[in-house]
Amino acid sequence: MPVVCCAFCAASRIDTRGDSLEKYTTDSELPQNEDGDARERHEILPARVSRRSFLTQLGAAGIAVTAPPALAAKAGTAVLEPDAQEAPALGDAVALTLKVNGKARSLKIDPRTTLLDCLRENLNMPGTKKGCDHGQCGACTVHVNGRRVNSCLSLALMHSRDEITTIEGLGQPGHLHPMQAAFVEHDGYQCGYCTSGQIMSAVALLKEPVGPSDEDVKQAMYGNICRCGAYENIVAAVQAGRSHA
């Protein structure tokens, strides 16, 4: 049997064909048995291993290995707390209905959950990104009642009366918001990690008192840091998006 050291390695065997396979393995028999090996691996892996699902599994495995049993159990119960009969005790999960992208979502969460973590971890909407987690980078920008905010510095429980809009609610492939299309057209990113926050800010400023010049756009966008430094293209994208929106 060929040696598979990790899920990435195994996924590579499934998805890759040809000589390049050899750099992923030390097993000289693999090329001859490629089909059989691939079928075998396919059975034990999800049909497609995404970066997110892989990292999530890796993260869970990491906790199981490193955390003491009591802590692991506590982490597990935080979102699975059964309905309490009395007022929630310190640390208990509490019920919340959050309106996100026009849909009411009911869930139970640890009161400590930020709006950002709630969107990403509880509602499985990873389009909103966690950068600094301290309100200094803007990657987590979402709209609350149409205004842009840093979702990392807000508790989810503070938003039971609000309308939340995330990047997932702006547009989807095939039906992009004009600002999303402008970012694609003008290559307004490099690695892409800050992009959803940049776009949420750019869409919000359409309704803010922002002057017409590039300098005005830079002023209005300074709450969104791009570590790759793609600012030239971001400004061009925002200007194009403003003219099309």
Partner 1 sequence: MDAFQFTLAETLKQAVASGAQSRTAQQGAQVRFVAGGTTLIDLMKLNVERPRQIVDINGLPMDRIVATADGGLILGALARNADVARHPSVERDYAVLSQALLSGASPQLRNMATTGGNLLQRTRCVYFRDPAHACNKREPGTGCSAIDGYNRMHAILGTSEHCIATNPSDQNVALTALEATIQIEGVKGKRTVPIGDFYLLPGSTPERETVLEPGDVITSVTLPAPKPGTNSLYLKLRDRAAYEFALASAAIVIKASGGRIETARVALGGVGTRPWRSLEAERALEGQSANKETFRAAAEEALKDARPQSDNGFKVELAKRCIVRALTMAVATKTA
Of 131, 101, 113, the closest CA to residue 195 belongs to 131
- By CB under 8 A, the residues from 98 to 117 that bind partner 1 are 110-112, 114
Is the Cβ of residue 64 or residue 132 nearer to partner 1 in the bound state? 132
Long-range contacts of 36-40 (CB under 8 A, 24+ apart): 37/2, 37/13, 38/13, 38/14
Amino acid at 135: G
Length of the chain: 245
Is residue 223 close enough to count as binding partner 1 by CB under 8 A?
yes
- Does 233 bind partner 1 (CB under 8 A)? Our answer is no
- Under the binding rule (CB under 8 A), the answer on residue 81 touching partner 1 is no
> Smallest distance, Å, CB 98 to partner 1?
14
State how far the Cα of 182 lies from the Cα of 188, in Å rounded to an integer: 8
Sheet of 141-144: strands edge to edge? 103-109, 94-100, 163-165, 141-144, 147-150
Q: Which of 75, 160, 170 is nearest to 128 (CA)?
A: 170
Interface size with partner 1, residues (CB under 8 A) = 37
With contacts defined by CB under 8 A, name the span among 1-9, 28-36, 129-137, 176-184 that binds partner 1. Answer: 129-137
**Interface with partner 1 (CB under 8 A), residue from 204, 237, 238, 240:** 204
Q: Which residues contact 81 (CB under 8 A, 6 or more apart)?
A: 92, 93, 108
Q: Does 127 bind partner 1 (CB under 8 A)?
A: no
Residue 163 binds partner 1 (CB under 8 A): no
Q: Which is nearer to partner 1, 21 or 203 (CB)?
A: 203
The CB-of-83 to partner 1 minimum distance in angstroms stands at 17
Interface positions with partner 1 (CB under 8 A): 88, 90-91, 94, 110-112, 114, 133-136, 138, 141, 144, 147-150, 152-155, 157-158, 160-161, 201, 204-205, 208-209, 219-220, 222-224
